[in-house]
Each structure stands twice: as C-alpha cells, then as structure tokens.
Amino acid sequence: MGEEILKSVKPKHTNLFFLSLIFSFILLLSIAIPVSATTKQSDQVLTKIEVKNNGVPVINTSYSALNIEGALEKVESGEFSQQFLESSAWKDFLQNAPTWMNVEDNAIIFENGLKFGLNIKNNEVDAKRIITSILVSNGQEVIDELNKDMEGNKVSPIPFYQPGKITNKFTNQSGIAETFLSPGLTAILDANLNYVKLVEINSNPQKLNIDLGNTSKNLKFNLEGNYSTQKTNFESYVVSLNQGIEYHLLINKELAQSTNTVNVTIPANSQLVIDSIATDNLSAILNTNKVAFNPSSSNNSQPMVVATIGFDKNLTSDIMVVIKAHMNMQLISSASLPSLNLGMTAVTTQMGSGVDTATTPKLVTSGINFAMVDGKSDKLATGAEYLLTREGKGKKEVYLQDNSWGEVDNLESTGLAQGKVIKGGQRYIIGFGETGIPLALNRFNFNSKESEKLNRSLIQLYGLSKGYKYSLYQITEAKGFTIKDKVHDFKIDYENLVSPNGTFLVKSSISNASTPIPSLNSLIPDFSSGVNEYNALLVSDSPMRKGILLRNILIASFIAVCVILLTIILVIKFV
C-alpha cells in the first residue's frame, strides 16, 4: 500500500510529500507529549520555594522535598511493624535520644507531655509536632524507616529546580526553585538531605517562603525606631555609626506550648555592646550575662549567650524583651571599611516541637569619597575646608567637634563655632573621629611623598546612613581660589546586587561616584573602579564645570570603545 502511494506521487513532489509527512509526525508528537505530561501531573502540585537567610536570597543551593504522609499515619496510629522496632535506625535513636526525650521501652515521652511509640495514638497536630522534633534531633533515619512504601522501599526525595530549567537543580539568583509534589505532609531538605522545614502541600500552585534565619512566627526581632528611610534591599538597614540600637524581641505566648526557654546570643567577633535588657512581663524570668555588657567582651572569639528568658506553659500574654545597645567604635574604626557585625539571634530549647530561631535585621553603613577639583583647569586642588551637615526628620544638623550630630537654627551663626572642620587628607569615621587617609602601599608605582601630596586633595566620609539630605558647607577657600557656591549637596546610597555568576556585590555611594572625574582617577592613589570611587568637589565657580565633567566622561568612553575595537580587529587578524 505504501509503495503504491509513493508511485502515485510525482518525482518533483516527492520532497514536498516527505516534508508534509515529517511535519504531521512532529505535530502529532507535540500534541501527545503535553497530554501525557498533563495526565501524569494531574494529581501533582506545582510547588515553588523562595529561600532566604534573614532577607538575603540563598542562591545556587540545592533543596528537595520528601512526602512523609506514611510516617505521619504511623505516628498517629502507633502501629509499628516488628521490622521497624528491630531496625538499627530506631534502636540508635532511642540510645542517643536528647535529654529532653525520656525513653521507656519502645516509647518516647517529651518534656511537654507528648508521647510517641508502640500503641500510642496521637492526633494530627501532635503527630506533626513529634515528627518535627525527631527531624531536628538527627532522627531522619527513623522517619525514613517509618515512611517506606507498601513494598518496603525507601521513598526518595524530589529535587527542586530553577523555574523553566529542569536540569538546573538549584535555586536561582532570587533564591527561587520549583517542582511538582504530591499533596500531604512534606519535609523540605537541604543539599545534604538535612531537615529544613515541615510543610503541608495542599493548594495548586503553592508558594513556600523559607527564611533560614527566622523559622517561627512565634519568635521575632524588630528594629525599634523610625528606620523606614534607611531601609535598603535584602531587608537590611543603612545606619549611621553613632546611632543607638534598640531591638524588640517578641515571644508569642503560643511558644510556651513547645518550649520553656529562649536564649539570646551574639555571634563571634561581635561589634555590639549591650546597654540593657528588660521586660515588663511578670511571667518571664530574665537572666542576663553581665559579661556581654562590657565593651572589651564584644570582641568575643566565640558566640555568647547574653540573656536567657524563661517561662512556663501557662503563659497568658506575649513577652516583649527590649534590648538596647551601641556599636563598639574602637573595633569598627580599627578595620578598613569593615562590614558591620551587629546581629543577635534568639533560639528556643528543644522540648517537643523542634527549634525556633529569630535573627535581628541586618545593619550596614555607607559613606562617600570626594576629590577637590579646579573645574577650570581640571586639576586636583587643596586647602578648602568644610562643615558636614544633614537635613531630615524635620531638622537640620551639623556634625560637631565631639563626633556627634547637633541641631542648628543658623549654620552661619552657631554652626561655624561648633562644627568639626572637614579637610583634605583625612578619613572621617562618624561617631569616632578622623585618621589620615592610608597610603596605597600596593600601588605598583607607589611613591610615599607623591601619595601624601595627592591625599591632601581627598576627603573620605565613612559611617553615614541613608534617609538624609547631606551637604558639605565650605568655610575656607582653596589656595588661589574664590567661590560663591558654598553648599555641595550629596546623598548616601547602599544596595546589594547578585552578579550573573552568583557573587554578592555591593553598589554604594563609596563604590560608585555620582559625579565621577575619569581624567583624574589615575592620579588618585586608592581609586578602584566599582569599589572605591571619588566624586568631584569643585573649589572654583566655573560655568564650564559640568561641560568639563561631561567631556571627561565622553573621552573616557571613547577611549574604552577604541580599545575594544582594536582588540577585536587584532583577534580577527591573527587568530
């Protein structure tokens, strides 16, 4: 039959016939595949996870999901096979059970009254709490043993993958991954198959927000004060180095059903000095570690418990713990533009519902660099002096000689006498003082005298927050210049970025100049593109200054384009 059809087709139409046949086959295949996939996944739930750690996306990290409905049913019924009771997983777990689990034969009794074992029945809520406690107590092998299918085979975890990229089995640059899961109780596991979170898969589609630093709605830190204008991305805040810090820790009364103690800790090498810890809840028992109140101890080599809050299961109201602290300026100033380490963590004790964790919002700081420039000749200048001012929250302030901010009504009358003089060659660390700008010793053509001379044209301001309108108010003219425009406004920025290769970067007013000076960057000893850039601080009134700056940018861009084109030509010619 096929041969007769082929014979009936004219030779010139043979190619067209075969093309039509191939197209029809592809069309049928494209229709059949989605139908098959849809049928296969009709009972599956598209589940998306967004993983963060205290607001920061957890990227390029593998996660998987394990449906544990089988284990849940057995914990609820208390019906365990003899094979399970004799398994090494069960025996090892009983032998190494944590102190808050009391072992009696083939049963475990938790401190909070929950029971788990042979012939012990539990409702669904208690069974889930028991499973969580077992998982956080290195008892995953027990859950795996209970969770075997009808044939006695271990149920395998299902990996998450990047949306639209099924071969990329890890989170994307937003910390997002997805997969199809069966409905029911499910354990989210990390790359090492360690327990992360217990969830219920029930809606389609479903999105799960996982914050590794904040695991419970019943335990939460808040940064107290008007910080809305200082907030940046990744749930962090850009603060000034001399502002006080006040954290409020909320312990929900519901937490008393699963634990009776919360420990508040600071990390190793903390730059935080505790001033006070207090609560007005009479049901809470607060014990503080006075060592943490000593500035010398904030440079601790190990994490330190600064307070323990105790309560009983009859707690009737939420507990609010107020923690006031300040920054250890000696530690911060001794480092070269360090990242701040001002966090605190609250952790519950294990008593029958797993571990709950809360982490304080991340605090960062920023600043800005200036180079004094003659706008007419496009050269570095020296000798100008300034006052640092800021305006916001309904008042105008000047940076004072004692390294604090003071409100002023008239800058000319009161500010001039009280303000700290800002001049070239200095790095000003807000709240601490000033030091000479370090010499760029790693510069390939380093010359000590030349570097000191160039540094006299530079001003570095470090430790400023977002949310204010800042100005440098000129009080002394540069050598050989007169100026009418005394006020130089600027703003402070800070933003976290994720590069295409997954590297975390910072874009700030330190790393990216808003008024760059391309023609002079090569002269500045510690200039580094995208890391440590300088803004033009004009010391002369020149109607051409904007044109000069634009010209410099265009010249630098033109040179860069020429270099790229020359490189391409050479590659094409010689490769």
Q: Is the pLDDT of residue 32 over 70?
A: no
Closest CA to 243 of 359, 108, 403: 403
For residue 149, name the pLDDT band (cuts at 50, 70, 90).
Answer: confident
Q: Is the pLDDT of residue 121 over 70?
A: yes
Does the CA dihedral 554-559-560-566 come out positive or negative?
Answer: positive
Position 97, amino acid:
A
Residues 299-337 pLDDT 10s: 678 899 999 999 988 899 999 999 999 998 888 887 666
Q: Please tell me whether residue 160 adopts helix, strand or coil conformation.
A: coil
Q: What is the arithmetic mean of pLDDT over 234-257? A: 93
Bridge partners for 159 per DSSP: 64
Q: Is the pLDDT of residue 49 over 60?
A: yes
Contact in structure between 451 and 349 (CB atoms under 8 Å):
no
For residue 19, name the pLDDT band (cuts at 50, 70, 90).
Answer: very low
What residues contact 354, with CB distance under 8 A and at least 6 apart? 129, 132, 133, 135, 136, 198, 258
More confident residue, 223 or 23: 223
pLDDT score recorded for residue 413: 67
Residues 416-434 pLDDT 10s: 778 999 999 999 999 999 9
Q: Chain-wide mean pLDDT for the chain?
A: 85
For residue 198, name the pLDDT band (cuts at 50, 70, 90).
Answer: very high
- Main-chain phi, psi angles of 531, to 5 degrees: -125, -55
The model carries a pTM of 0.81
For residue 6, name the pLDDT band (cuts at 50, 70, 90).
Answer: very low
Q: Angle at the Cα of 64 (from 62 to 68), degrees rounded to 5? A: 160
Token pair 């265009």 is found at 554
Q: Is the pLDDT of residue 262 over 50?
A: yes
pLDDT score recorded for residue 294: 81
Residues 364-398 pLDDT 10s: 999 999 999 998 888 999 999 999 999 987 889 99
Cα–Cα dist 539/90, whole Å: 78
Q: How far apart are the first and last CA of the chain?
A: 57
pLDDT score recorded for residue 409: 81
Q: Is the pLDDT of residue 133 over 80?
A: yes
Residues 520-538 pLDDT 10s: 999 999 999 999 999 999 9
- Main-chain phi, psi angles of 359, to 5 degrees: -130, 140
pLDDT score recorded for residue 18: 47
